């Protein structure tokens, strides 16, 4: 990763809000009440997953042997569990079918958090938690996860608000009993980093997942010079610039990702968080954008490089859709790929916000 000094411009620090990233507070802030109400309503729905029209399509995925052992992941999970006290295990361990799976949120605030906070672990316990990430993810995935956490520390340096931001304000929990035969998994939940990891024998499913950063460049503190998501921003811009003007008209869904610029049904009120919607039993994402099969195959089109770790084209081909445009401007760029998997990345880079929500 290149070490280049960061610089910011055009953005200020938000006014402090009541709440905390690590604990319950009294009285309960209004934003928390809104979040609890939305979550309670969403969790009452039966789980159906993500569809384009509300109708589940059967047979999209099947159980299969991969030939790649998940024993290193199981061993790392066992070591993490063994490092915890009895009180911590009570918080960290959940049944495989627990509703806690659905409660992850990208918000920096504490509501809906579950599991043991890395901030409250001893150094040796934290090492076992990080080893679980290393054993489970690719080198790039593990490094990106750690960099997101480090950039959350930078956010604390920028704002001075250590109640909300810090490197270790992330919560880890285990679902089921780590096994080579029975289903189990783990979840890491916190600001700009939400990983869901499900294991069945030698097969792994890692959706939904979110890596993000705001800012994506560290210009101060112990991690000065660190930067992340350069490739994602570059590839997203190259993707849009590779399209013809008629193609862009189909691919650009919204001109901006700022809440007040979006349609009413997509507006997020202050103090709320759109990421809470992931607890819903079903999410509808109508197919929009430009079909990939209608895009010429010139080498400059970097569609497969938007997220190469997870890119798996669907039978119909993904459709790239963008909110923003082809310029790295403060209004932001949102790249969305309709298809099989869903990821979201958000970065604030050199004063220009760029977001990418990818369902590949």
Q: Is residue 22 part of a domain?
A: no
Q: Is 326 part of a structural domain of the chain?
A: yes
Helix, strand, or coil (residue 350): coil
Domain check: are 205 and 328 in the same one?
Answer: no
214 and 264, same domain (yes or no): no
| Residue 186, burial from CB neighbour count under 10 angstroms (0-12, 13-18, 19+) | buried
Tens of pLDDT along the chain (360 residues) come to 444 444 555 556 777 788 999 999 999 998 889 888 888 888 888 887 777 787 888 888 788 889 999 999 999 999 999 999 999 999 999 999 999 999 888 889 998 999 999 999 999 999 999 999 999 999 999 999 999 999 999 999 988 999 999 999 999 999 999 999 999 999 999 999 999 999 999 999 998 888 999 889 999 899 999 999 999 889 988 988 999 999 988 888 887 777 777 777 666 665 454 444 456 666 666 665 555 444 444 333 344 343 433 333 333 444 444 455 554 433 233 333 333 333 333 333 222 222 333 322
240 and 133 within one domain: no
pLDDT of residue 329: 35
Alpha carbon separation from 289 to 97, 153, 213, 324, 335 (Å, rounded):
35, 36, 25, 13, 10
CA distances from 339 to 97, 232, 240, 359 (A): 26, 18, 18, 6
Tell me which residue range forms the domain holding 281: 230-359
Look up tokens 């790039």; give the residue. 140
If asked whether residues 256 and 350 sit together in one domain, one would say yes
pLDDT tens, residue by residue, 251-277: 888 877 777 777 776 666 654 544 444
| Count of structural domains within the chain | 2
pLDDT of 88 reads 98
Residue 204 pairs with which residues in a beta bridge? 199
Whether 14 maps to a domain, the answer reads no
Residue with tokens 């569609």: 303
Please state the φ and ψ torsions of residue 29, each to the nearest 5 degrees. Answer: -65, 155
Please enumerate in sequence order all residues whose Cβ is within 8 A of that of 24, keeping only pairs 6 or more positions apart, or say none.
110
DSSP letter string over 243-301? S-HHHHHHHEEES--SGGGS-GGG---TT--GGGGGGSSEEE----S--GGGS---TT-
CA dist., res. 100 & res. 265, Å (int): 26
pLDDT of residue 343: 34
Give the end of a domain, one of 169, 192, 223.
Answer: 223
Please indicate, yes or no, if residue 65 is contained in any of the structural domains.
yes
Q: Which of 223, 239, 273 is the last residue of a domain?
A: 223
Position 147 in a domain: yes
Query: Is residue 111 located within the same domain as residue 246?
Result: no
* Helix, strand, coil percentages, rounded to 5, for the chain: 30, 20, 50
pLDDT at 45: 85
Considering the domain boundaries, does residue 173 fall inside one? yes
C-alpha 237/C-alpha 91 separation (Å) is 43
Q: Are residues 117 and 242 in the same domain?
A: no
CA 43 – CA 268 distance, rounded (Å): 20
What's the pTM value of the predicted model, to 2 decimals? Answer: 0.78
With respect to residue 212, please indicate whether it lies within any of the assigned structural domains: yes
Tokens 């994506």, residue located: 216
pLDDT of residue 8: 55
Predicted confidence at residue 270, as pLDDT, reads: 56
Q: Does 242 lie in the same domain as 142?
A: no
């Amino acid at each position: 990763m290149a070490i280049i000094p960061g610089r910011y411009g055009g953005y200020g620090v938000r006014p402090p809000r009541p709440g905390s990233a690590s604990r319950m507070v009294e009285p309960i802030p209004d934003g928390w009440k809104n979040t609890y109400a939305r979550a309670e309503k969403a969790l009452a729905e039966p789980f159906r997953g993500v569809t384009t029209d509300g109708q589940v399509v059967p047979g999209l995925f099947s159980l299969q042997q991969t030939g790649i052992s998940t024993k290193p992941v199981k061993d790392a999970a066992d070591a993490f569990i063994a490092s915890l006290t009895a009180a911590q295990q009570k918080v960290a361990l959940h049944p495989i079918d627990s509703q806690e799976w659905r409660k992850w949120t990208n918000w920096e605030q504490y509501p809906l958090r579950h599991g043991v906070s890395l901030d409250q672990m001893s150094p040796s316990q934290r090492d076992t938690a990080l080893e679980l990430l290393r054993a489970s993810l690719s080198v790039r995935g593990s490094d990106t996860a750690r960099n997101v956490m480090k950039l959350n520390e930078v956010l604390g340096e920028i704002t001075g608000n250590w109640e909300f931001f810090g490197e270790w304000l992330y919560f880890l929990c285990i679902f089921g009993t780590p096994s080579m035969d029975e289903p189990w998994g783990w979840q890491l939940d916190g600001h700009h980093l939400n990983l869901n990891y499900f294991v069945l024998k030698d097969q792994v499913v890692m959706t939904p997942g979110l890596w993000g950063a705001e800012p994506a460049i560290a210009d101060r503190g112990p991690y000065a010079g660190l930067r992340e998501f350069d490739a994602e921003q570059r590839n997203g811009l190259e993707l849009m610039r590779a399209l013809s003007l008629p193609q862009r008209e189909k691919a650009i869904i919204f001109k901006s990702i700022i809440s007040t610029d979006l349609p009413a049904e997509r507006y997020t009120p202050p103090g709320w968080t759109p990421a809470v919607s992931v607890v819903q039993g079903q999410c509808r994402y109508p197919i929009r954008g430009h079909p990939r099969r209608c895009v010429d195959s010139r080498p400059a089109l970097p569609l497969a490089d938007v997220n190469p770790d997870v890119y798996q084209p669907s039978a119909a081909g993904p459709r790239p859709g963008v909110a923003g445009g082809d310029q790295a401007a403060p209004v932001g760029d949102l790249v969305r790929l309709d298809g099989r998997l869903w990821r979201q990345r958000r970065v604030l880079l050199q004063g220009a916000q760029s977001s990418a929500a990818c369902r590949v």
